[in-house]
Structure 1
Amino acid sequence: MSYNVEKIHGCTMISGPVPVTDMVKLMAPPSDEHWILDPNLALKLGATLIFGPKDNLKRMAASAEVKARIHEHQSKLLDGVHVSDQAFAWLVGGERGKSSDSMFGFLTGVKVMQHGAHPVDAADFRRCRLLLEQVPEFNDRRQALTELSDVWGGLVAKWDDLCAMMDAEAPAWREKLGCASSTNQAIKQISTSRGQ
């Protein structure tokens, strides 16, 4: 197994598969620091993990060097697939997760992103909603997501209801404010009833 460790703006970026024994050593912060993971930034850079102090992660993500690397990595990921300017802007700057990446991959034909993950909670569903807001052309094709899995079929069938539920219980969901426990429960119920 081979992996690469890079230090950028006081953060650690790991690429490649990491043995658990190495992971424990790599992720041990100095006693005076609190480290957090940034899975969104890791997705954008094609890394396994990125972690560090919160302020350092913000500086890293905002740096011209990292923005250029994100742009380059996402361009390679597309592998010749043409997407709209809005879709590319989401790819390099949007909030991403496995389920929103799955939507993007399926709707654009970017094969490396089609892994079929579906939202498992309101946080995942939030990222999917943000994708549809930032790339409006995908909204017209949302029905096609039913081809991904039975769970996606259930989610698409209840999409508008789930959105209304989330809007009612967490009006500031775009800013990650509020609790969407009923939306969480409804999403889990759809997953369970569809066999996953």
Structure 2
Amino acid sequence: MALTPARIEVDELVLRPLTVADEPAVAQALTDPDVLRWTAGTAVLRTPSEKRALKWLETRIDGWSRNNAVFAIAEATTDVLLGSVSVRDVYRVPDQAVVAYWVSPVARGRGIAARALDAAARWSFQPRAEGGLGLHRLSLDHALVNVGSCRVATRAGFLLEGTMREYYVELDGRRHDSHLHARLATDQPAAGS
């Protein structure tokens, strides 16, 4: 069952489906070593740098048809992409999905990732009859050395559940322990939400 693309407004931001028009902003974000290291993926990293943004976008634009709600995080007034948040593998496990996020360096320090992640979680927990996904559990993981991602997860109400030993593998083969976080539909809303 394909997901119906959604649009979510959050303060001065909007979460909306990605488009080919986002390519310049994605290309700029993919020049950041942290975005490349933690979120680009092997296929993108193996693509020549001038083609990486389109490679990254190609599987995400039509992700909705494959049970992956992939949102651009954009300025509401300009519609310029600042990052991305995704709810993927929806219903692969009953009532569950996995979330991921990144924010371009030019937009960091404004709490954008945590607010977007919280908004995506709230939408995911809404009943299907109200336009949400009707999920009960969302999980995410990040390498322990990615401290910023841990802060985002915690601020968005994702509780730390444990450490997965040597779970994250970088392209060069280096392994990192990873934190596993989760948020349930029954959890208290994130602070400041």
- TM-score, normalised with respect to structure 1: 0.29
Higher helix share: 1
Computing the radius of gyration from Cα coordinates, the structure with the larger value is 1
Greater share of strand: 2
- TM-score of the superposed pair, with normalisation by structure 2: 0.30
